[in-house]
């Protein structure tokens, strides 16, 4: 580590606050101290986006994931809560190299929700299912009194088969690996903020929410020894890479100049004091793989509509384990820790 280093803030609380849903350090502490301490087991403790479950009398393994979606507003530029629910769960299952096949969906509806609104959400879910080639095979609906929810909340679970011999996970990053990102950062966070009317101007930014399973399938067909796949959702790129660095006991070194951010997103971040490295994404992919496979991986990603802006952004080292270090354009090094607190609540 060289050059000036910025201090890292920490927050502590004895009650549940909005920051516990950020996906950052407060979420990590909540999971460790409450959920894992009482419910922990070998599967839950893997710490990946999905659990890897062995199948008796069958080849391969199953990836299982679940997610809840409470985004506000329900509709925003480039997406809505229905598309988000499908894509988020499909992507979590695909991050283990699985082929997503089936989903379940549970709905909590607030009394007074217009049927037209519900229909638009369900139509969007159907469209996303068709794009991802998955089916919703079970569901549940509950209606709560007016004022007890915010229109509609959706919980989804996803199931997919992991082909025999495929092994990916956040604990498998190795020194000498390269780190790729499939596109620009922060689009989803700024799009949702704009839909709330909090931006104060029209940015034209659309959410990146998308199913990534087809792009991942093409990548894994071309590169069989990918070590880690992870989508940088809540907490953004910085928090997600910090998780990987801790799981694998390595450090990750990034070059800020190589990280793609749209000018409109960067401008919004500069005006509002946000860091695009911590903003949520819902259609981006982190890839950690051997250095000699970078060229072919980028070629595959660039050939997919969701990966045209893919770039190599850093590397993995054995020095300074559990650290994510960003080389700035000024020649200094900045420590990237997990998101502390909450930048934008209810973005997913």
pTM check: above 0.95: no
Local confidence band at 46 (pLDDT 50, 70, 90 cut-offs): confident
Mean pLDDT of the chain: 93
CB count in 10 Å sphere of residue 256: 16
DSSP 8-state code for residue 163? P
Where are the alpha helices (H) located in the chain, listed in sequence order? 25-30, 37-39, 81-94, 115-132, 187-195, 213-222, 236-248, 263-272, 294-302
Q: Is the dihedral of CA 218, 47, 188, 154 positive or negative?
A: positive
What is the number of helices (H) and of strands (E) in the chain?
Answer: 9, 14
Tens digits of per-residue pLDDT, 208-250? 999 999 999 999 999 999 999 999 999 999 999 999 999 999 9
DSSP assignment of 236-304 equals: HHHHHHHHHHHHHT-EEEEEGGGS---HHHHHHHHHHT--GGGS--SS--EEEEEGGGHHHHHHHHHTS
Q: With 70 as the cut, is the pLDDT of residue 172 above it?
A: yes
- Averaged over 11-28, what is the pLDDT? 83
What is residue 7's predicted lDDT score, i.e. its pLDDT?
44
Tokens of 200: 């104060």
| CA 5 to chain CA centroid, nearest Å | 27
Largest CA distance in the chain: 58
Half-sphere exposure of 84 (CA within 13 A, CB side): 33
Where are the alpha helices (H) located in 172-211, listed in sequence order? 187-195
What is residue 23's predicted lDDT score, i.e. its pLDDT?
86
Share of the chain above pLDDT 70, in %: 96
Tens digits of per-residue pLDDT, 85-132? 999 999 999 999 999 999 999 999 999 999 999 999 999 999 999 999
Cα distance between residue 269 and residue 190, in whole Å: 8
Three-class DSSP category at 227: coil
What is residue 1's predicted lDDT score, i.e. its pLDDT?
44
Tens digits of per-residue pLDDT, 28-39? 999 999 999 999
Evaluate whether 278 touches 220 at the Cβ level (below 8 Å): no
CB count in 10 Å sphere of residue 333: 17
Residues ≥6 apart with Cβ < 8 Å to 141: 106, 107, 109
Q: Is the dihedral of CA 50, 64, 42, 31 positive or negative?
A: positive
């Amino acid at each position: 580590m060289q050059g000036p280093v910025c201090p890292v803030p920490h927050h502590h609380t004895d009650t549940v606050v909005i920051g516990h849903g950020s996906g950052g350090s407060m979420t990590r502490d909540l999971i460790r101290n409450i959920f894992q301490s009482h419910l922990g087991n070998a599967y839950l403790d893997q710490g990946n986006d999905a659990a890897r479950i062995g199948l008796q009398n069958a080849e391969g393994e199953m990836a299982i994931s679940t997610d809840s979606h409470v985004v506000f507003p329900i509709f925003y530029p480039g997406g809505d809560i229905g598309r988000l629910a499908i894509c988020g769960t499909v992507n979590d299952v695909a991050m283990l190299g699985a082929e997503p096949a089936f989903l379940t969906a549970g709905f909590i509806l607030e009394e007074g929700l217009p049927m037209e609104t519900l229909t638009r959400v369900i139509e969007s879910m159907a469209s996303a299912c068709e794009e991802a080639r998955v089916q919703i095979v079970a569901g549940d609906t509950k209606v709560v009194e007016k004022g007890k929810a915010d229109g509609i909340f959706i919980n989804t679970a996803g199931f997919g088969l992991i082909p025999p011999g495929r092994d990916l996970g956040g604990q498998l990053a190795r020194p000498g690996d390269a780190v790729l990102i499939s596109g620009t950062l922060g689009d989803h966070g700024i799009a949702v903020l704009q839909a709330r009317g909090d931006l104060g101007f029209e940015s034209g930014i659309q959410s990146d929410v998308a199913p990534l399973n087809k792009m991942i399938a093409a990548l894994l067909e071309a590169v069989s020894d990918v070590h880690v796949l992870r989508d940088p959702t809540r907490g953004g790129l910085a928090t997600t890479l910090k998780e990987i660095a801790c799981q694998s006991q390595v450090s990750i070194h990034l070059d800020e100049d190589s990280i793609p951010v749209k000018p409109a997103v960067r401008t919004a971040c500069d005006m509002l004091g946000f860091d695009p490295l911590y903003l949520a994404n819902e259609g981006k992919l982190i890839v950690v793989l051997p250095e000699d496979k970078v060229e072919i991986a980028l070629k595959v990603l660039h050939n997919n509509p969701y990966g045209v802006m893919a770039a190599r952004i850093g590397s993995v080292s054995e020095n300074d384990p559990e650290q994510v270090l960003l080389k700035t354009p000024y020649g200094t090094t900045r420590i990237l820790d997990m998101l502390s607190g909450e930048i934008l609540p209810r973005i997913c």
